[in-house]
Structure 1
Amino acid sequence: MKFCYACGSPLIMKDLEHEGEVAYCEQCRQYRFPIYHSAVSMVVLNPNEDKILMIQQYGKKDNILVAGYINQKESAEEALKREMKEEIGRSILKQRFMRSEYFPKTNTLIWNFAVVIDSEDLSQVSDWEVDKAQWFSFEEAITQVKPDSLAQRFLNNFLQEYKIKSKDFFA
Protein backbone atom coordinates (compact mmCIF):
# COMPACT_ATOMS: atom_id res chain seq x y z
CA MET A 1 0.00 0.00 0.00
CA LYS A 2 1.53 3.27 -1.12
CA PHE A 3 -1.30 5.73 -0.45
CA CYS A 4 -3.72 6.30 2.42
CA TYR A 5 -7.11 4.75 1.72
CA ALA A 6 -8.82 7.60 3.63
CA CYS A 7 -7.19 10.74 2.20
CA GLY A 8 -4.94 9.58 -0.67
CA SER A 9 -1.70 10.98 0.82
CA PRO A 10 1.54 9.04 0.34
CA LEU A 11 2.30 6.65 3.19
CA ILE A 12 5.60 6.36 5.01
CA MET A 13 6.88 3.43 7.02
CA LYS A 14 6.95 4.16 10.73
CA ASP A 15 7.77 2.02 13.75
CA LEU A 16 4.76 0.99 15.82
CA GLU A 17 5.48 -0.48 19.23
CA HIS A 18 5.04 -4.29 19.26
CA GLU A 19 4.24 -4.28 15.50
CA GLY A 20 7.45 -3.16 13.78
CA GLU A 21 7.38 -1.05 10.62
CA VAL A 22 3.82 -0.18 9.58
CA ALA A 23 2.49 2.13 6.85
CA TYR A 24 1.62 5.53 8.34
CA CYS A 25 -0.33 8.53 6.99
CA GLU A 26 1.17 11.80 8.19
CA GLN A 27 -1.94 13.69 7.03
CA CYS A 28 -4.42 11.55 9.00
CA ARG A 29 -1.89 10.71 11.72
CA GLN A 30 -2.99 7.07 11.53
CA TYR A 31 -1.29 3.74 10.95
CA ARG A 32 -2.70 1.96 7.90
CA PHE A 33 -2.69 -1.82 8.01
CA PRO A 34 -3.03 -3.85 4.79
CA ILE A 35 -6.45 -4.20 3.19
CA TYR A 36 -7.13 -7.04 0.79
CA HIS A 37 -9.94 -9.21 -0.51
CA SER A 38 -10.72 -12.71 0.79
CA ALA A 39 -11.88 -15.66 -1.27
CA VAL A 40 -12.38 -19.41 -1.05
CA SER A 41 -11.22 -22.07 -3.47
CA MET A 42 -12.32 -25.72 -3.45
CA VAL A 43 -10.93 -29.03 -4.55
CA VAL A 44 -14.34 -30.63 -5.10
CA LEU A 45 -14.69 -34.39 -4.71
CA ASN A 46 -17.63 -36.60 -5.66
CA PRO A 47 -19.33 -38.70 -2.91
CA ASN A 48 -17.02 -41.68 -3.64
CA GLU A 49 -14.00 -39.39 -3.31
CA ASP A 50 -12.45 -40.68 -6.54
CA LYS A 51 -13.13 -37.76 -8.92
CA ILE A 52 -12.36 -34.03 -8.90
CA LEU A 53 -14.65 -31.39 -10.36
CA MET A 54 -13.11 -28.53 -12.32
CA ILE A 55 -14.75 -25.69 -14.17
CA GLN A 56 -14.14 -23.25 -17.00
CA GLN A 57 -15.34 -19.64 -16.71
CA TYR A 58 -15.52 -16.32 -18.54
CA GLY A 59 -14.86 -17.74 -22.00
CA LYS A 60 -11.48 -19.22 -21.03
CA LYS A 61 -10.66 -22.86 -21.78
CA ASP A 62 -8.55 -23.35 -18.65
CA ASN A 63 -9.75 -25.86 -16.06
CA ILE A 64 -9.72 -24.29 -12.62
CA LEU A 65 -11.17 -24.97 -9.18
CA VAL A 66 -14.54 -23.72 -7.98
CA ALA A 67 -13.91 -20.45 -6.13
CA GLY A 68 -15.49 -17.19 -5.07
CA TYR A 69 -15.13 -14.12 -2.90
CA ILE A 70 -16.12 -14.07 0.75
CA ASN A 71 -18.89 -11.53 1.31
CA GLN A 72 -18.88 -8.99 4.10
CA LYS A 73 -20.08 -10.53 7.39
CA GLU A 74 -19.62 -14.05 5.95
CA SER A 75 -17.18 -16.71 7.18
CA ALA A 76 -15.03 -18.72 4.80
CA GLU A 77 -17.13 -21.79 5.62
CA GLU A 78 -20.35 -19.94 4.79
CA ALA A 79 -18.83 -18.73 1.52
CA LEU A 80 -17.94 -22.32 0.59
CA LYS A 81 -21.54 -23.43 0.92
CA ARG A 82 -22.94 -20.37 -0.87
CA GLU A 83 -20.48 -20.57 -3.77
CA MET A 84 -21.11 -24.31 -4.19
CA LYS A 85 -24.87 -23.71 -4.38
CA GLU A 86 -24.52 -20.67 -6.69
CA GLU A 87 -22.06 -22.16 -9.16
CA ILE A 88 -22.66 -25.93 -9.07
CA GLY A 89 -26.12 -26.26 -7.49
CA ARG A 90 -24.89 -28.87 -4.99
CA SER A 91 -24.47 -29.15 -1.22
CA ILE A 92 -21.27 -29.81 0.69
CA LEU A 93 -21.21 -32.98 2.82
CA LYS A 94 -17.66 -32.71 4.19
CA GLN A 95 -15.00 -30.04 4.20
CA ARG A 96 -11.42 -29.61 5.31
CA PHE A 97 -9.25 -26.50 5.26
CA MET A 98 -6.06 -27.11 3.28
CA ARG A 99 -4.00 -23.91 3.12
CA SER A 100 -4.14 -20.28 2.09
CA GLU A 101 -2.15 -18.23 -0.37
CA TYR A 102 -2.02 -14.56 -1.23
CA PHE A 103 -2.76 -13.85 -4.90
CA PRO A 104 -1.17 -10.50 -5.82
CA LYS A 105 -2.90 -10.14 -9.20
CA THR A 106 -6.23 -9.45 -7.47
CA ASN A 107 -4.92 -8.48 -3.99
CA THR A 108 -6.72 -11.48 -2.54
CA LEU A 109 -6.01 -13.93 0.26
CA ILE A 110 -7.47 -17.22 -0.93
CA TRP A 111 -8.47 -19.93 1.56
CA ASN A 112 -8.35 -23.36 -0.07
CA PHE A 113 -10.53 -26.24 1.11
CA ALA A 114 -11.16 -29.82 0.04
CA VAL A 115 -14.88 -30.64 -0.05
CA VAL A 116 -17.10 -33.61 -0.80
CA ILE A 117 -20.42 -32.77 -2.43
CA ASP A 118 -23.71 -34.65 -2.35
CA SER A 119 -23.82 -35.85 -5.98
CA GLU A 120 -21.99 -36.00 -9.30
CA ASP A 121 -25.10 -34.55 -10.97
CA LEU A 122 -24.17 -31.36 -12.82
CA SER A 123 -27.63 -30.49 -14.14
CA GLN A 124 -27.91 -27.50 -11.77
CA VAL A 125 -24.61 -25.83 -12.76
CA SER A 126 -25.04 -22.08 -13.22
CA ASP A 127 -25.03 -21.16 -16.90
CA TRP A 128 -24.16 -17.55 -16.12
CA GLU A 129 -21.15 -18.22 -13.83
CA VAL A 130 -19.76 -21.46 -15.27
CA ASP A 131 -19.10 -22.17 -18.95
CA LYS A 132 -18.28 -25.83 -18.37
CA ALA A 133 -18.06 -28.20 -15.39
CA GLN A 134 -16.48 -31.63 -15.68
CA TRP A 135 -15.41 -34.52 -13.45
CA PHE A 136 -11.86 -35.86 -13.75
CA SER A 137 -10.04 -38.79 -12.17
CA PHE A 138 -7.19 -37.71 -9.89
CA GLU A 139 -4.68 -38.58 -12.62
CA GLU A 140 -6.62 -36.66 -15.27
CA ALA A 141 -7.03 -33.64 -13.00
CA ILE A 142 -3.25 -33.28 -12.69
CA THR A 143 -2.89 -33.02 -16.46
CA GLN A 144 -6.05 -30.96 -17.08
CA VAL A 145 -5.72 -28.18 -14.47
CA LYS A 146 -4.48 -24.80 -15.70
CA PRO A 147 -0.67 -25.01 -15.72
CA ASP A 148 1.40 -22.69 -13.49
CA SER A 149 -1.71 -21.50 -11.69
CA LEU A 150 -2.89 -21.12 -8.13
CA ALA A 151 -5.46 -23.84 -8.91
CA GLN A 152 -2.62 -26.19 -9.86
CA ARG A 153 -0.72 -25.43 -6.64
CA PHE A 154 -3.84 -26.01 -4.53
CA LEU A 155 -4.65 -29.23 -6.41
CA ASN A 156 -1.10 -30.58 -6.03
CA ASN A 157 -1.13 -29.77 -2.32
CA PHE A 158 -4.45 -31.60 -1.92
CA LEU A 159 -3.22 -34.67 -3.81
CA GLN A 160 -0.08 -34.91 -1.67
CA GLU A 161 -2.06 -34.63 1.57
CA TYR A 162 -4.85 -36.95 0.42
CA LYS A 163 -2.38 -39.64 -0.61
CA ILE A 164 -0.98 -39.70 2.93
CA LYS A 165 -4.28 -39.67 4.87
CA SER A 166 -6.98 -40.80 2.43
CA LYS A 167 -9.02 -42.88 4.90
CA ASP A 168 -8.89 -40.30 7.68
CA PHE A 169 -8.69 -37.23 5.48
CA PHE A 170 -12.00 -35.66 6.47
CA ALA A 171 -12.05 -37.09 10.03
Structure 2
Amino acid sequence: MLNRLKPVLENKAVAKIGQNMKYDMLVLAHHGIAVQGAAFDTMIASYVLHPGRPSHGLDALALEYLNYKTTTYADVTGTGRKQIGFDEVDVQTATDYSGEDADITLRLKLNLAPRLAEQGVEALFRDMEMPLMEVLADMERTGVRIDASFLQKMSGSLEGDISSLEEKIYELAGEKFNINSPK
Protein backbone atom coordinates (compact mmCIF):
# COMPACT_ATOMS: atom_id res chain seq x y z
CA MET A 1 0.00 0.00 0.00
CA LEU A 2 2.79 2.45 0.85
CA ASN A 3 4.34 1.87 -2.56
CA ARG A 4 1.14 3.14 -4.14
CA LEU A 5 1.22 6.28 -1.99
CA LYS A 6 4.94 6.91 -2.37
CA PRO A 7 4.73 8.91 -5.65
CA VAL A 8 2.14 11.25 -4.13
CA LEU A 9 3.92 11.60 -0.80
CA GLU A 10 7.25 12.35 -2.50
CA ASN A 11 5.72 14.79 -5.00
CA LYS A 12 6.57 18.31 -3.84
CA ALA A 13 3.83 19.75 -6.07
CA VAL A 14 1.18 17.95 -4.02
CA ALA A 15 0.69 19.99 -0.85
CA LYS A 16 0.49 17.98 2.37
CA ILE A 17 -1.51 19.11 5.39
CA GLY A 18 -1.05 17.31 8.67
CA GLN A 19 -0.92 17.30 12.43
CA ASN A 20 2.54 16.63 13.87
CA MET A 21 3.93 16.01 10.41
CA LYS A 22 7.48 15.59 11.68
CA TYR A 23 6.43 12.34 13.31
CA ASP A 24 4.74 11.15 10.13
CA MET A 25 7.80 12.10 8.09
CA LEU A 26 10.03 10.07 10.41
CA VAL A 27 7.77 7.02 10.27
CA LEU A 28 7.49 7.19 6.49
CA ALA A 29 11.25 7.74 6.10
CA HIS A 30 11.73 4.50 8.02
CA HIS A 31 9.77 2.87 5.19
CA GLY A 32 11.80 4.53 2.45
CA ILE A 33 9.48 7.44 1.72
CA ALA A 34 10.89 10.98 1.72
CA VAL A 35 7.83 13.18 2.17
CA GLN A 36 7.97 16.37 0.11
CA GLY A 37 5.55 19.27 -0.04
CA ALA A 38 4.74 19.69 3.64
CA ALA A 39 2.54 22.77 3.38
CA PHE A 40 0.72 23.12 6.69
CA ASP A 41 1.12 21.48 10.09
CA THR A 42 -1.73 22.28 12.47
CA MET A 43 0.41 21.49 15.52
CA ILE A 44 3.02 24.02 14.44
CA ALA A 45 0.34 26.58 13.57
CA SER A 46 -1.10 26.18 17.05
CA TYR A 47 2.34 26.61 18.57
CA VAL A 48 3.00 29.78 16.58
CA LEU A 49 -0.37 31.20 17.63
CA HIS A 50 -0.13 30.15 21.29
CA PRO A 51 3.39 29.05 22.28
CA GLY A 52 2.50 28.82 25.96
CA ARG A 53 -0.52 26.57 25.68
CA PRO A 54 -0.16 23.22 27.45
CA SER A 55 -1.16 21.03 24.50
CA HIS A 56 -1.04 21.35 20.74
CA GLY A 57 -2.42 17.85 20.23
CA LEU A 58 -5.22 17.14 17.79
CA ASP A 59 -7.78 16.30 20.47
CA ALA A 60 -7.21 19.57 22.36
CA LEU A 61 -7.18 21.67 19.18
CA ALA A 62 -10.37 20.07 17.86
CA LEU A 63 -12.14 20.78 21.12
CA GLU A 64 -10.95 24.39 21.30
CA TYR A 65 -11.27 25.50 17.69
CA LEU A 66 -13.99 23.22 16.35
CA ASN A 67 -15.91 22.43 19.53
CA TYR A 68 -15.54 18.78 18.57
CA LYS A 69 -14.55 15.85 20.77
CA THR A 70 -12.47 13.45 18.73
CA THR A 71 -12.20 9.72 19.06
CA THR A 72 -8.92 9.31 20.92
CA TYR A 73 -6.19 6.79 20.25
CA ALA A 74 -7.02 5.23 23.63
CA ASP A 75 -10.67 4.92 22.56
CA VAL A 76 -9.49 2.80 19.64
CA THR A 77 -6.65 0.81 21.19
CA GLY A 78 -7.69 0.67 24.83
CA THR A 79 -5.51 1.31 27.84
CA GLY A 80 -3.51 -0.62 30.39
CA ARG A 81 -3.44 -4.39 30.14
CA LYS A 82 -6.23 -4.39 27.59
CA GLN A 83 -4.40 -2.03 25.22
CA ILE A 84 -3.72 -3.42 21.76
CA GLY A 85 -1.45 -2.23 18.99
CA PHE A 86 -3.00 -0.18 16.21
CA ASP A 87 -2.20 -3.02 13.82
CA GLU A 88 -4.62 -5.16 15.85
CA VAL A 89 -7.53 -2.73 15.54
CA ASP A 90 -10.21 -3.94 13.15
CA VAL A 91 -10.05 -2.32 9.73
CA GLN A 92 -13.35 -0.44 9.96
CA THR A 93 -12.49 1.11 13.34
CA ALA A 94 -9.00 2.05 12.11
CA THR A 95 -10.51 3.54 8.95
CA ASP A 96 -13.04 5.59 10.90
CA TYR A 97 -10.38 6.82 13.33
CA SER A 98 -7.93 7.73 10.58
CA GLY A 99 -10.62 9.40 8.50
CA GLU A 100 -11.70 11.49 11.46
CA ASP A 101 -8.08 12.54 12.08
CA ALA A 102 -7.70 13.60 8.45
CA ASP A 103 -11.02 15.48 8.46
CA ILE A 104 -10.27 17.28 11.73
CA THR A 105 -6.78 18.17 10.53
CA LEU A 106 -8.15 19.78 7.37
CA ARG A 107 -10.84 21.61 9.31
CA LEU A 108 -8.21 22.88 11.76
CA LYS A 109 -6.04 24.07 8.88
CA LEU A 110 -8.98 26.03 7.49
CA ASN A 111 -9.55 27.51 10.94
CA LEU A 112 -5.93 28.25 11.88
CA ALA A 113 -4.58 29.62 8.59
CA PRO A 114 -6.63 32.84 8.75
CA ARG A 115 -5.65 33.30 12.40
CA LEU A 116 -1.97 33.19 11.45
CA ALA A 117 -2.60 35.99 8.95
CA GLU A 118 -4.73 37.99 11.41
CA GLN A 119 -2.02 37.84 14.07
CA GLY A 120 0.71 38.73 11.58
CA VAL A 121 2.64 35.49 12.08
CA GLU A 122 1.93 33.81 8.76
CA ALA A 123 5.44 34.52 7.43
CA LEU A 124 7.02 33.17 10.62
CA PHE A 125 4.97 30.00 10.25
CA ARG A 126 5.61 29.57 6.52
CA ASP A 127 9.20 30.76 6.23
CA MET A 128 10.69 29.66 9.54
CA GLU A 129 8.68 27.07 11.43
CA MET A 130 7.56 24.81 8.57
CA PRO A 131 11.05 24.55 7.02
CA LEU A 132 12.52 24.05 10.50
CA MET A 133 10.22 21.04 11.00
CA GLU A 134 11.82 19.37 7.99
CA VAL A 135 15.32 20.15 9.26
CA LEU A 136 14.49 18.73 12.69
CA ALA A 137 13.03 15.60 11.12
CA ASP A 138 16.26 15.13 9.14
CA MET A 139 18.34 15.66 12.28
CA GLU A 140 16.29 13.15 14.25
CA ARG A 141 16.54 10.61 11.46
CA THR A 142 20.28 10.95 10.84
CA GLY A 143 21.46 12.05 14.27
CA VAL A 144 24.19 14.54 15.00
CA ARG A 145 27.93 14.03 15.24
CA ILE A 146 29.35 14.37 18.72
CA ASP A 147 33.01 15.10 19.40
CA ALA A 148 33.34 12.82 22.43
CA SER A 149 36.98 13.73 22.99
CA PHE A 150 36.18 17.45 23.11
CA LEU A 151 33.25 16.87 25.47
CA GLN A 152 35.44 14.74 27.75
CA LYS A 153 38.05 17.53 27.93
CA MET A 154 35.34 20.10 28.52
CA SER A 155 33.87 17.99 31.30
CA GLY A 156 37.25 17.78 33.02
CA SER A 157 37.74 21.51 32.69
CA LEU A 158 34.29 22.24 34.11
CA GLU A 159 34.89 19.86 37.02
CA GLY A 160 38.04 21.81 37.85
CA ASP A 161 36.18 25.12 37.64
CA ILE A 162 33.39 23.81 39.85
CA SER A 163 35.86 22.50 42.40
CA SER A 164 37.62 25.89 42.55
CA LEU A 165 34.31 27.70 42.98
CA GLU A 166 33.26 25.32 45.75
CA GLU A 167 36.49 26.00 47.64
CA LYS A 168 35.93 29.76 47.32
CA ILE A 169 32.37 29.35 48.62
CA TYR A 170 33.57 27.33 51.62
CA GLU A 171 36.27 29.90 52.30
CA LEU A 172 33.77 32.77 52.20
CA ALA A 173 31.30 30.85 54.37
CA GLY A 174 33.98 29.84 56.84
CA GLU A 175 32.88 26.21 56.81
CA LYS A 176 32.05 23.30 54.51
CA PHE A 177 28.40 22.46 53.86
CA ASN A 178 26.28 20.74 51.21
CA ILE A 179 26.21 23.29 48.40
CA ASN A 180 23.66 21.20 46.50
CA SER A 181 21.11 21.31 49.30
CA PRO A 182 18.03 23.37 48.43
CA LYS A 183 17.76 24.51 52.08
TM-score normalised by length of structure 1: 0.27
Give 1 or 2 for the bigger CA radius of gyration: 2
Query: Higher strand proportion, which one?
Result: 1
TM-score normalised by length of structure 2: 0.26
